[in-house]
Structure 1
Amino acid sequence: MSSTATPKPSLYRSLFNPFLHIAGGTALLVGWTAMLLASIVSYFSKAHFDGAIDIHFGAGGKYGIFLMEQFIAWTSVTAVFYIIGIAFSKSKIRLIDVAGTLAMARLTTLPAALIGFLPVYPVKLDDPMLALTIIITLIPGIWMIALMYNSFVVSTNIRGAKAIAWFIAGLLTAELLSKVLLQYLIPLV
C-alpha cells in the first residue's frame, strides 16, 4: 500500500527553511507571538534587539522599548525586502508571505533573549564567561540570518547570486533604517 502523504521535512529543513511548509498568515502569527514573548523575556533579561540584526545586553528600560525594538526591526526588514521583491522578482510577490516568513525568522530572538540572564555583567574583558556568552549569542544570530535569507528567497523567488547580492544590500539597508527609526521613536515611549 503506497502513501500519497507529503514526506516529513528533515530536521535541517525544519530549522533553517520551514518556509517551504509554513508561510503567510500562519507564519505571521507564529512570528508575532515569538516576538511578543521575546520582548517580555528581553525586558527581564535586559536584552535589546536594537536593529534589524543587533542584540545588546545590560541596559534596562520600559517594556514598550523592548516591544518597539522587535517590531521596528521586523517592519524595517519586511519593508525593504518587499520593495526589493517587487522591483527585482519576476514573480508576483505577496506582502503577507514576506511579512509572515520574516516574522517567523525572528523566532530565534526568543532563545537569544534568554542569554541576557547569563551572569557576565558587569563585563570583564578577561572573563572566560564573556567569551562563552559571545559565542552563544552568535548562534541564534547566525540562525536568524539564515532564516531571513531563506525567507527572502522563498517569498520573493529571487535565486542565486542575485538573491545573495539583494539580500546583503537589503539587510544592510534594513539595519540602517531600523537604527534611524529607533533613534526617533524610542524617545516617544
Structure 2
Amino acid sequence: MTGSITKPPTRQRMIDSAVQLLRERGAAGVTIDAVLTRSEAPRGSVYHHFPGGRNQILTEALQLAGDTIGGIIESATSSGSRRALEQFRNMWAGFLAQSDFNAGCPAVSVAVGGSPEDEALQPMATQIFTRWHSSIAAAMVADGIPEERAAQLATVALATIEGAVILCRVHKTLAPLDDAVAVMSEMVAYAGR
C-alpha cells in the first residue's frame, strides 16, 4: 500500500477538529456543523460517537488539549525548568505556525469566553491551568528555587507565555513568544542562584 495515507478513525478526527476549532474560535465556535465539516465525518457520527452531543464533544476536546499540553510540559520539566520553558515555547511556536497564527490556547479561549458553554467548561480550564502551574513550579523547585518563589514564578511564566501567544496571533510573529521565554529564563536562572 504505497502512497496511501490512512485517516484516523472518525471519532478521533472529530475530537481533533473540535480542539482546532476551540483554539481558533472558542467554545461558541465549536458547533456540530463545524466539527463535521472540518473532520469530514458523516452527520450520524455525532450520535454514534458522542451521545452527549455538542457538550460531550466540547468537554472531550478541552480535556484532550489540556492533557496533550500538560504531557508536553511534564515531559519537558524532567530536563529542568528553563528547558521546560523552551519546550513550551517550541510547542506554541509550532501550533502558531501550523495555524498561520490563527489558533491559540484552548484553555485560554474557555477562560476568557463569555458564552454559556465557556462557563460550563471553566472548572475544567481551572484544573488544566492548575496542572500546568504545578508542573512548572515543581521543576523550579527541583532546580533549587524555594517553593514559594517557584509558585510565584510559575504563575508569571504561565501568564507571560499565554499573553505572548495572544500577541503572536495579533502581530503574526513569534517575537513576543521569544521575548517572553528569554526574559522568563533569565528570571528563573536568577532565582535559582
TM-score (norm 1): 0.36
TM-score (norm 2): 0.36
Judging by fraction of residues, say which structure has more helix. 2
